[in-house]
Chain A
Amino acid sequence: MDYPIKPTKPGLEESSEEILRIRITLTSKNVKNLEKVCAELIRGAKEKHLRIKGPVRIPTKVLRINTRKSPCGEGTNTWDQFELRIHKRVIDLFSSQQVVKQITSITIEPGVEVEVTIADT
């Protein structure tokens, strides 16, 4: 619970120094990549000594589709169960905007969607 205190330089925008509550939501179909990105984010944040909460693993959404295997109606009624899994992780940060920009400038794995929500203060 340590708020980092940065020396403010004159001329610099105040907004970038203000501590904002930032929520980063990571979504992906691919768990591996998602976890990788997550870990990097957290690592980056910890390097900058930010207060971080996370990663919260939201329950996986499984989109299921059950279809008949047969293209016609003939035969034993066999069914395919197709599913699409969507994984979601949420990371909460307290940091300034500049820092967030830096953090999210990491190489993002393909297939991972990043959404950043900044609270209005």
Chain B
Amino acid sequence: MGRKAKKFIDKKKAATFQLMSRDSADDPGFGDAPGGDRIFVRVDNNPCSVDTLEDDGGGGGGDDDVFADAPGDFDDGEDGAVGSVAGARGAGGGGAASASASASGLPEHVRREILELGFPDDGYNYLGHMREIRNAGGGSAFYQNPKARLDLVPKDVKAYDASRIQVPKVEGNPHNESIYSVAANSVNVRVKKAVDPEVNALLDDSDLSRFGSDVEDLEEDFVVQANHPEGEDGIVEGISQYPGMPAVMGSVINELDTAAGRERQIDNGFPHEIRSRFVERNEEFDDEKPRERRPLDEQFDLLECQEYGSEDDDKDDSYGGYMAEEDESLALKLKQAFDDKVVDDLEIDDKYRVPADLLKDNDVKSKQLQDSAADLIRRCVEYADRYENENDDKEVVIVEESSDESEVWDCESIVSTYSNLDNHPGKIEAPMGARKKKLASTISVALGAANPLISLKGKEKLPVDYLPRGMKSSAEKVKGGSVSRNEQPRRKQHGQESKEEKKERKAAVKEERREARRMKKETKELYRCEAQQAQKVAATTGPSSIPLM
């Protein structure tokens, strides 16, 4: 395999330049010309000297050679480096700064620019920190994404299809603002609707009046304000489109003559009113008319006829404003209500007056007030009489409350059905008490015995008198004991007793033993509890002298 006889270029004897972007306007070569924002920077260290590609001429080129190492260190190792644009600023800046910072101060135009930007004029070139927005990437790179599905763009994003725009190359007029070339050409782009027009309309609808509450934003004395038609001319100027304002109500009252035609259609319920605020009001008024008339409507009509004459169906023109109907109706109703009453009566500046005071007071203005006071007093008297009379008729019977719960006995409530008089606490005894009773009985028997000595009898030599007798009567035991006592001194000599005596003797002995056994069993039974306790103690306390049975 033969290599090429001669390479086109021998890299070791060639100068290599990389195309990098210029740093900033500091560099005098910078311009908006098509190639003005780039510069060739030498990136190799070969000893060959080639006329450099920089367009700064000799001086700038010479300076840049000094910095030739810098980009070399940065870029040479990266064969597949991305975007020389991004990495070039330092190198270009290094090259450019050397050229321009020769003077100790800054050039005049640079200083002016720094001042314009608002930085202090202290000799430091703040422009070095500024980054120009260029039309050729500026560190960013566009990568076409073949998988971008723009038709799946979400609804709240507007997508413009600008793929067919031909942006002309910036060649003819290098002083044009080339950054606007794209924008200028995309004017005719058909905007793809991202959302439905109706949805758009709803979203753009800034008139939130139909969703707003009606009684918001009312001043505290809106009622009083509404009732003073005279003082409303000042409020009229402050009309706004928002229907909740009291000013609107004021103006509404002013225009009652024109609004009289509307009154029939006004209803009390809010849902109606909210609906009726939409644009086509006239049609909606027609819709509301066939609603059945309530007695309140008739009352209302009567009142309006009284007050405003018969202008019911005459005027149907627009308000001239976006007035709320329920405010109007509210205002009207209030006006009706308050017209009947004298305004002064509503004032609470004088002291409170009881109906009786009103009756007695002869200089009360209106008869109506007096009548109402009299009526009130009469009614109070009626109620009082009724109350009193009711009490005389019936007796108050106190019925002991017996609920079902209390009838049922439960363990919490009752320990005994006997009261303490019958059931002395002393008589309720624990099981230990039974044994003490037995003990007491035996002791009493024993104490009752005349003999002060405690006699130990039987094989085990137990204090027979003090043992519990069990079922047998004490007399029998005494007897048995005594029989055995009687017979013992009568023991004859060995070989001298007869057969019957021997038999008797044997029988007596047997009996004695039998008794003893029984005694022992009874004792054991009696003291079993004690024995268990003793064993427990002995077990827990460890080795001791107590022999465990």
A interface vs B, CB < 8 Å? Answer: 13, 15-16, 20-21, 23, 27, 29-30, 32, 53, 61, 63, 84, 86, 92, 97, 100-102, 104-108, 110-120
Contacts and interface: CB of A to CB of B under 8 A. Distances in A.
B22 interface: no
Contacts of B79: 27, 61, 86
Interface in B52-76: 53, 55
B42 to A, nearest CB: 10
Interface of B: 8-11, 13-19, 33-36, 38, 40, 43, 46, 48-51, 53, 55, 79-85, 136-137, 140-144, 169-170
B125 to A, nearest CB: 27
A115 to B, nearest CB: 5
Contact of A117 (B11, B49, B143): B11
B51 A117 contact: no
Given A106-B35, A107-B170, A61 B17 contact: no
B51 A101 contact: no
Contacts of A30: 141, 143-144
A107 B169 contact: yes
Contact of A111 (B9, B38, B82): B82
Contacts of A16: 51
Contact of A104 (B38, B82, B137, B143): B38
B53 A100 contact: yes
Contacts of A32: 144
Given A113-B83, A113-B84, A116-B18, 16 more contacts: A29-B143, A30-B144, A53-B8, A92-B8, A108-B136, A110-B85, A110-B136, A111-B83, A117-B16, A118-B16, A118-B50, A118-B53, A119-B9, A119-B10, A119-B14, A120-B48
Given A23-B9, A118-B14, A119-B14, A97 B84 contact: no
Interface of B is mostly: loop
B51 A13 contact: yes
A32 B145 CA distance: 12
A30 B144 CA distance: 9
Contacts of A120: 13-15, 46, 48-50
A13 to B, nearest CB: 7
Contact of B9 (A15, A27, A105, A117): A117
B18 A113 contact: yes
Nearest to A84: B80
Given A104-B19, A119-B13, A120-B48, A21 B8 contact: yes
29 contacts: A13-B51, A20-B50, A27-B79, A27-B81, A29-B143, A30-B141, A30-B143, A30-B144, A61-B80, A84-B80, A86-B80, A97-B51, A101-B35, A101-B40, A101-B53, A101-B55, A105-B33, A105-B36, A105-B38, A108-B38, A110-B85, A111-B141, A112-B83, A113-B82, A115-B18, A116-B18, A117-B14, A117-B16, A118-B50
B170 A111 contact: no
A56 to B, nearest CB: 10
Contacts of B137: 110-111
Contacts of A27: 79-81
Please list the 10 inter-chain residue pairs (A to B) with the smallest Cβ-Cβ separation, ordered nearest first. A105-B35, A110-B137, A120-B48, A114-B19, A86-B80, A111-B141, A15-B51, A113-B84, A110-B141, A120-B13
A105 B34 contact: yes
Contacts of A107: 34, 136, 169-170
Given A13-B51, A15-B51, A118-B50, A29 B14 contact: no
